[in-house]
Structure 1
Amino acid sequence: MNHRWLKYGVVTVTASAILFSSNPVIIPQTAQAAAVQKSISSQYVRLNSTSVLSVRDAHFLMQEKGKVLAFNVYITNNSSRPLNLIDYWIRVKTKNGKVFKATLVESDKEKTFVPAKTTETLTYYAVVDSGTKLSDLQFQAIKWDFSAANYERSLGTISAPSNATDKVGAFKAKTMRFQNTKIRSAVKQAFITEDKSSAYMTINFLLENSGLQAANVSALKFYVQTESMSVYTVNAPDLEQMVIQPKERKIVTLNVTLPKSVARKPLSIVAALNDEASKVQLPLGVYALPSVKPAAALAYGKARTVYMSGQPIRTSVGAAVLTENDDGYGLAIDFKLKNIGSNSIDTPNLEFILHTKGNVSYPLTYSKEENGKLLPNIEKKLELTGQIPDEAQLKDATIELRMGATEKDKGYVIGNYKTVSQSSAPSEGSLSSSFVYDEKYEIKLNSIQRSPLQDSDMLVADITVTNKSNESQKIPNLSGYFMVNGVKVDGDYKTISLDDTITIAPKATFNYAVYTKIPYTTTINSVSFVSTEPVQDKPAKDLYRFTGQKLSEVPAYGVTRAYEITNIGKKASATLLRSVIFEGEKTRHFYSEFVLTNKEARAANIAQLGGYVQDASGQVVPVQFSETSGKLMPGGKILISAWAKLPSQFDISNYKLFIGQGVEAAGTGTPQEGEPAPVAERVIVKPVSYSLSGNGDTGIDTDLKNIALAGHELSLQKIRAQLRVISGFTVEGIDLSTQYTLTQNEEYDVIAGERKIMIEFVNQDSHQVTYSKTFTIDKEAEGQEMLKKGTNVPLTITFADPEVQSKISDYKKYKLNVYEVFQDTKLLIASRELNWFATEE
């Protein structure tokens, strides 16, 4: 008998603890076999006084074995003892009496009893006639009975109603049993495209894990089936290694290639599971597909949402830019993809074909990004390029978007898009004009400046991008080049952000600069700037030409007006405190001091400055600024220095100081072995000028009190000069003793750079013998003494000279000078005549 039960066999479906409770199942108090018009799942057969049998999930799928019916049998044992299954089996037959063999899947053959107070599930399949419908079938429950004819007794029959169907309506959900869990599933979207030979259907299908265990759905197969039972295999690359966690939803994108005649007929999609033992695909659910027509080519300027790897992708095509060449016309077309879903996907392997009027086809290519991603809400642009002959017309042309072929799939058409043609020459405008880029950005050229370097100059374009949209946008990847006197300037162009931001807020702006080096001898009568869009592995695309301009005027500031830096993340002001000329025996230096104030709401790295001085004859000398590091608190101030070594011909009677934001430009040239690397040069952006004259001397302190120098104040008191005598009578030099008070201006958080002073002794006789000593201010330096901050600090300076007596003829008066020292130059800032051998306050 055991052999007889197993002969009617089983196919892979496992009982699920999620589907069935361990509590007793209540048997409905309704009629069983007589309810012909009840659905199959609502009918049951009583096996004994405490156990019932029901049938669910009956579906058809045509395959190599024929038309396969798969269904699940649920046996509920509500008694307190196990139910032996060896005594029962199921028979499938038509209402006309034709019997089909029902086979139990191999994995269920070990289920020989149903434990007390539980439900067991058995999966069967049967090969039926091709014309058999679900409404034709009955499921008869049978028990062995040796007292009955043929040793079998019918316990009851579940009969399909006349309107029975195994399909779920289009867009309606169904919960299918899958392995040990339940998967809620539905068709969410379907559309069709066509080419010359075939139709391509794309289906977005919902898979939602309704159970409590993770489900590996990579074993799921899908088929499109016609009413006449023709079957087409569906490609489902998204399912590879897909695991759906409990309560998680996934949308998978399915695609299938169909004959055009079939695509217009009623269709359904079948989810199935392969039973390896029986070599049968077991249908788990059948879903009616909506009736859809091939989508027309999308009008130019419109966007279409398609699904790729389960995510909605908004797509659109730009104008075809034509460039005449020897072979006809080269064309470049922007194709945009924006992932408007919630998950990133790998950039798909897309193919593009241009179809002109008359259906002549030309392939389009683009640079494919290795391991690229389509990230949520970030637009990606593909630059499509191709070649067409002179006679080809783009009027009524369409671009066909295809999913590229793989080892498992020959690819399919995703959509068709119309385009228009435009000339490759960029639009033009004046310096004050602007142009719209990518429909959501407005690009404006603020200025074109010439920034001097040591032995060359930089051309600098200052550009503002405005986000016209109501959503935050990414920073566009733009660059450009210059044309001087109508000729393109070839060179190494750099683009640098002046704002510290990664996106542009709605209606907000973003500031950047483009610069390149030119010989300082270049004469500029007119200059243009062409805004471009870089293209990977290809020449950049010209977007707009700001043409026919002279270099922009540099704003002139009064010396009391602060220079404001307004860029995001760098807001600050720079105020010119002093500018002087330090004189030396052979050289002289321009020297100035600025106070930088952080105007950001948070601690920030202060903006770097750059500049140069220029005299009335046009002689230019770059200015070097002291380096700053570390963050400055909001409202904090830092004192910095700027200096330049001036040539002897530089006219200090009438000159200008130009300052602006300093942008590092890498030094050029490759050093020889053993030589230092090129020094970085600083390009100036957004410059202003200050008119200066003379040496900037603001007067000399004559009492040696409150001497101002570089953010400090120095006072000398109790000053005494006398001969330095050793062993009672040997004179070794002069001792100058004093007490000093050195304070720092508390207004400044930081004083950048090294500060030095020199104290000089000059005897006031005819010989004017002179001695001096240099000190650093509140910073240690190797080989030099330091004056540290403090009040009434004793200090003795020894001027060693054994011949001093022979150099001095009069011990009445001497002069004490204090110089501010910079490199090998100095500036007198205080001087006082004092008496020998007297302590002067």
Structure 2
Amino acid sequence: MKKKSRKSLFSVALSAVLLASSVTPVWADDAGSPPAILLSIANPIGSIALTSQSKLNIQEVNLLTGEELNTVSFTAELVNGSDRDMQFVDYWIRLNSGTGAVIDVQLQAQDKDKNKVAAGTSQQFHFYAKVSKATALADLKFQVIKWDFDAPNFERVVGEIAVPDSYSLQTPSDSKRSVLLSGVPITTYVKRVNVSKNDINSLPTVSFMMVNSGSRSIKLPDLQFTVETADGLSYPMNVSGLTKDTVLQPLEDKEGILTAIIPQEAGLEGWKLSVKQTIEGGASDGTALVVPVAEYDLPQAKADDVSLGAVYEFSNKHGIYTASMTGLHRLPWEDEDLLTANVIIANQGTESLPIPDFTGYFELDDATKVEAVAVNTDKVISLNPGSELQLQLIGKIPFTTQFKRVKLLLQENETVDTLSGSAASSTDKPVKVDLVQFYHNSDLLQVGLIPNGAKRKLTAIGRQADYSVRSVMTFTGKSSDIYAAQLAVENLEKRHTDIAKLVAHFRAADGTVYPAQVTELSEKVRPGATGLLYVWSSVPKSYATEGLQLLIGDAVKDGKLAEKDPDGYVNAASFVLPAEQKEPKASFKELEIAPYTISMSNFGTQLNFVTGEVELKFEYELTHNLLMETNMDNQKLIVEMEDTRGKFKMSHYLDLETGKDESKVLDLGFHQMKLIKADENLKFNVEDMEKYRLNVYHEFQSGQKKLLATKDLYWFMYND
């Protein structure tokens, strides 16, 4: 039942799971106690006798789905029961698909130096292979061979094992699963699941338990958790309590809280929890390797039929309003953290209402008061009947602050006659009137992750837009690199609109935050068009950017959207970033420096023996996406040619469409470009000149560039 009052305080008790709503957990069993059934991931699918006293176990067979290819991982355990050493190098494992095709198997880098298996001991060797999307575990057959110089092809088949049709590593919701992490057995299970929802998304929270069943401590590796839907859609989960390098002592158990945001269209049936591990340098070529750990059936979810943020009334001298809190987040800001609350203020009456002069404060653990600034980012000056506005309140705390509960008190600044105590003119003393009080739990302060390829919709009145990450790229320099994300902002309004100034950070899996800069547009964006922003930060040359997330928000200052020097940000969103396309193209067709695309062809060179000038000619076609606006300041195309034997090198910096030097400007349409460099000594080396390497770079800033395409071409001939 709704309640209303002019100046009284409203206490709105919010549960630990959902703001302003009560959510009934979906337990893994009736009481939430640990499951009784223990399944082992290490049980071999079969064994092959190598000698009368030794064998090879094939175990831990698992399949990880990928974008283009799947990854099969398995462990071969050589058990030496003899009285002499054995050499694993005498054997090899061949993997065959259901069609009989041989699949290339790689030994993980961690085992590349293993070989000798002492008498009376066993040794494990971990393998992986890339397979097609259509390959299932039941299609696989393992063949063990022994190198034998007396046999055809110098190999002799020792035995074969096919993966049984009934084989599955899916963990039922009423079972535990024992997994090996860094050689230590870890008992894992889903303790409980609860799901709530708002008008758009389902919001699962999974309690995931890990128990060290071994005899030594372990630092948890880099684990990733995702929710997989019945249709194969994958949604990353935020993790607390089970992050990388968390120490787990023998017999110690730790509970991880996993949260995700899943569109309601994905449904609630058939969810499973997938756990993967990233092994840095684990692949045979030294790159990172992602391998599956285990999968778990999640109990059938049933979301409570309530909206995120129950509605409560308050009133002032102008009329009756409603308020609902739809989010509360803790965000990084320089050497502090921001507490930001999203509150929807609505007019459900029949008359227009003015917007109150809001203020408020946060209170941590009923002890520490944190003043808040109210920010109205909607372009409205009043509330018409049936309309609403989005209000944000921002407070700052030291980033080291720890707390369990947080309270938000929404207030209104009202002027009061100091003599009579009644509401009076604006010249009288202002007072703060309590309106609504909300409670929240610190465990739920994370910003939900937006999956790779998905969009974040901004619904603020007058600034409606879709935000999405288009691509990421690394521009290399001499002492440091620039890591950049292309952020596309589509204008959903019916008028030309400025894109609000953004505050951005890159956030690593371990919680480390890297402030980022954002390019700004000088022009407004047309309706239906897209503004392309570069969000970038300088990083060390050795820094691994995989796993970074992009956190953005609208810049504010003094309670308003800021054009410069912000003191905070609101409407935060966190994006999962796509994998970077690091390999350059082997052709010069369709090279993109958004919003431009260039194709280059018919490269030819000639040498003027009199002047010593080397001339590079080529044809090009430059197009411009007219529905995309960006800031091209300092960005250039670099054409570089270098003789493969080091006899000559030249580089030219070209502007796109406009530039100071017209001879170095690439114009829209189909044209020819001529680049020249004088080298009087080159004519003496003509006989040694066969090929040159042509490189095309995208320069983002002076000295920071990314190789787009490269190819070896012949001197003094026309090449493509």
TM-score normalised to the size of structure 2? 0.50
Structure 2 Cα separation of the partners of residues 475 and 546 of structure 1:
20
Q: Is 1:666–1:680's contact at 8 Å kept on the other side of the alignment? A: no
CA distance in 2, matches of 1:548, 1:505: 30
- Aligned residue type for 2:441: Q
**Counterpart contact for 2:412–2:434, Cα < 8 Å:** yes
Match of 2:327 in 1: 447
Residue of structure 2 in register with 1:815 after alignment: 693
Once the two structures are superposed, the pairs formed by residues 195-234 of structure 1 within 5 Å of their partners are none
Instruction: Identify the residue that residue 388 of structure 2 maps to in structure 1.
Output: 509
Cα–Cα, structure 1 residues 453 and 758, in superposed 2: closer, same or farther, change >3 Å? Answer: farther
Equivalent AA in structure 1 for residue 565 of structure 2: A
- In the alignment, does 2:518 pair up with 1:625? yes
Aligned to 2:603: 719
Cα 1:774–1:451 change in 2 (3 A) is farther
Change (3 A) 1:553 1:519: closer
**Helix, strand or coil for the counterpart of 2:586?**
coil
Contact 1:714 1:743 (C-alpha < 8 Å) held by counterparts? yes
Q: 1:490 to 1:661 in 2, by over 3 A?
A: closer
Is 1:702 aligned to residue 586 of structure 2?
A: yes
1:489 positional shift: 4.4
Which runs of no fewer than 5 residues in structure 2 stay unpaired? 16-308, 416-428
Q: Say if 1:803 and 1:541 are closer, same or farther in 2 by CA, change over 3 A.
A: farther
Alpha-carbon distance, 1:436 to partner: 2.3
Aligned residue type for 1:574? Y
Counterpart mapping for 1:647-658 below 5 A: 647=540, 650-658=543-551
Counterparts of 1:665 and 1:806, CA distance in 2: 69
Change (3 A) 1:666 1:752: farther
What does residue 169 of structure 2 align with? none
Change (3 A) 1:554 1:828: same
Which amino acid letter does the alignment assign opposite residue 637 of structure 1?
A: T
Residue 479 of structure 2 is aligned to residue 586 of structure 1 = yes
Is the CA contact (8 Å cut-off) linking 2:452 and 2:578 kept in structure 1? no
Deviation at 1:839, TM superposition (A): 2.4
Q: How far off its partner does 1:638 sit?
A: 2.7
For 1:541, give the aligned amino acid.
V
Letter in structure 2 aligned against 1:774: Y
CA contact (8 A) 1:774 1:785 kept: no
Question: In structure 1, what is the Cα distance between the partners aligned to 2:681 and 2:413?
Answer: 75
Q: Any idea what the Cα deviations from partners look like across 1:528-550, whole Å, max 9, x if unmatched?
A: 22212224545533333322422
Write out aligned runs for 1:233-252 (5 A).
none
Q: How many Å separate the matches in 2 of 1:424 and 1:705? A: 66
Deviations 1:334-379 (A, max 9, x none): xxxxxxxxxxxxxxxxxxxxxxxxxxxxxxxxxxxxxxxxxxxxxx
User: In the TM superposition, what is the alpha-carbon distance from 1:778 to its structure 2 partner?
Assistant: 2.2
Distance in 2 separating the partners of 1:457 and 1:519: 6
For 1:763 and 1:605, the matched residues in 2 are separated by: 48
Alignment match of 2:707 (pick from 817, 823, 828): 828
Go from structure 1 to structure 2 and tell me whether the alpha carbon gap of 1:796 and 1:441 turns closer, same or farther (over 3 Å shift).
Answer: same
- Which residue in the other structure is 2:28 paired with? none
Match runs of 1:286-301 below 5 Å: none
> Offset at 1:501?
0.8
Residues 795 and 516 of structure 1, relative CA distance in 2, 3 Å threshold: same
Normalised to the residue count of structure 1, the TM-score between the two structures is: 0.44
Shift of 1:679: 6.4
Cα deviation code 1:137-158 (max 9, x no counterpart): xxxxxxxxxxxxxxxxxxxxxx
- Per-residue CA deviations over 1:42-94 (Å, capped at 9, x if unaligned) read xxxxxxxxxxxxxxxxxxxxxxxxxxxxxxxxxxxxxxxxxxxxxxxxxxxxx
Q: Which residue of the partner structure matches residue 436 of structure 1? A: 314
Residue 798 (structure 1) aligns with:
676
Of 750, 771, 789, which aligns to 2:650?
771
Any idea what SS the aligned residue of 1:440 has?
strand
Which structure's relative contact order is higher, taking Cα pairs within 8 Å and 6+ residues apart? 2
User: Residues 614 and 801 of structure 1: is their aligned pair in 2 closer, same or farther, counting only changes over 3 Å?
Assistant: farther
Q: CA deviation at 1:816?
A: 0.5
Amino acid at match of 1:501: V
**AA paired with 2:344?**
T
CA distance in 1, matches of 2:482, 2:542: 13
> In 1, Cα distance between the equivalents of 2:623 and 2:705?
21
Distance 1:760 1:747 in 2: 31
The aligned residue for residue 526 of structure 1 is 405
Q: 2:435 aligns with which of 537, 543, 549?
A: 543
- Using a 3 Å threshold, how does the CA distance of structure 1 residues 760 and 467 change in structure 2: closer, same or farther? same
Q: Which has the larger radius of gyration?
A: 1
CA distance in 2, matches of 1:820, 1:682: 34
Task: For residue 495 of structure 1, report the CA deviation from its aligned partner.
Answer: 2.4
546 and 425 in structure 1: CA distance in 2 versus 1, 3 angstrom threshold: closer
The amino acid of 2:693's aligned partner reads: K
Following superposition, the deviation at residue 474 of structure 1 comes to: 0.8
Shift of 1:707: 1.3
Q: CA deviation at 1:464?
A: 0.8
Measured in 1, the distance between the counterparts of 2:344 and 2:313 equals 11
Is the counterpart of residue 691 in structure 1 residue 576 in structure 2? yes
Give the match's secondary structure for 2:510. coil
Instruction: Decide whether the 8 Å contact of 2:7 with 2:434 is kept in 1.
Output: no
Shift in Å at residue 569 of structure 1? Answer: 0.8
Tell whether the 8 Å contact from 2:330 to 2:446 is kept in structure 1 after alignment.
no
Counterpart of 1:3 in structure 2 is: none
Structure 1 residues 522, 720: closer, same or farther in 2, change over 3 A? farther
Counterpart CA distance in 2 for 1:816 and 1:574 is 36
| Cα displacement string for residues 677-729 of structure 1 (whole angstroms, at most 9, x for unaligned residues) | x96137442333222365x01653222122122121112223223445445xx
Question: What residue is the counterpart of 1:30 in the other structure?
Answer: none
Change (3 A) 1:812 1:565: same
Alpha-carbon separation, structure 1, partners of 2:441 and 2:536: 33
Contact 1:454 1:621 in 2 (8 A): no
Task: Name structure 1 gaps, 5 residues minimum.
Answer: 1-419, 668-677
Q: Is the 8 A contact 2:471 2:578 kept in 1?
A: no
By how many angstroms is 1:568 displaced?
1.0
Q: Say whether 1:787 aligns with 2:661.
A: no
| Cα distance, 1:812 vs structure 2 | 0.4
**CA distance 1:452–1:648, shift in 2 (3 Å):** farther
Report the AA paired with residue 755 of structure 1: Q
Partner of 1:639: 532
Instruction: Report if the CA contact (8 A) 1:429-1:545 is conserved.
Output: no
Deviates more, 1:580-589 or 1:655-664: 655-664
Instruction: Output the CA distance in 2 between the equivalents of 1:791 and 1:448.
Output: 51
CA RMSD of aligned residues (A): 3.5
One-letter identity of the residue aligned with 1:518? I
Is the CA contact 1:564–1:573 (under 8 Å) kept in the aligned structure 2? Answer: yes
Q: Which residue of 2 aligns with 1:680?
A: 565
CA distance in 2, matches of 1:508, 1:666: 22
> May I ask how many residue pairs the two structures share in their alignment?
404
Match runs of 1:396-545 below 5 Å:
434-438=312-316, 440-490=320-370, 493-536=372-415, 537-538=429-430, 540-545=432-437
Aligned to 2:62: none
Distance, in Å, in 2 between the alignment partners of 1:741 and 1:803 is 34
Compared CA separation, residues 698 and 646, structure 1 to 2 (3 A): closer
The structural deviation recorded for 1:559 is 2.0
| Superposition deviation, residue 478 in structure 1 | 0.9
CA 1:786–1:565 in structure 2 vs 1: closer, same or farther (change >3 Å)? Answer: farther
| Secondary structure class of the residue paired with 2:545 | coil
CA offset digits 1:611-633 (Å, max 9, x no partner): 32111121111232221244433
| Residue pair 2:557, 2:568 contacting (<8 A) in 1 also | yes
CA distance in 2, matches of 1:771, 1:682: 46
Specify the code of the residue in structure 1 equivalent to 2:353. Q
**1:555 equivalenced with 2:440 (yes/no):** no
Cα deviation, residue 511, structure 1: 0.9
1:484 is aligned with what amino acid?
L
Deviation at 1:435, TM superposition (A): 4.7
CA 1:665/1:802 → structure 2, altered by over 3 Å: closer, same or farther? farther
Q: Measure the CA separation in 1 of the matches of 2:322 and 2:357.
A: 13
- 2:160 is aligned to none
The secondary structure found in structure 2 opposite 1:577 is strand
Amino acid at match of 1:788: L
Identity percentage over the alignment?
23
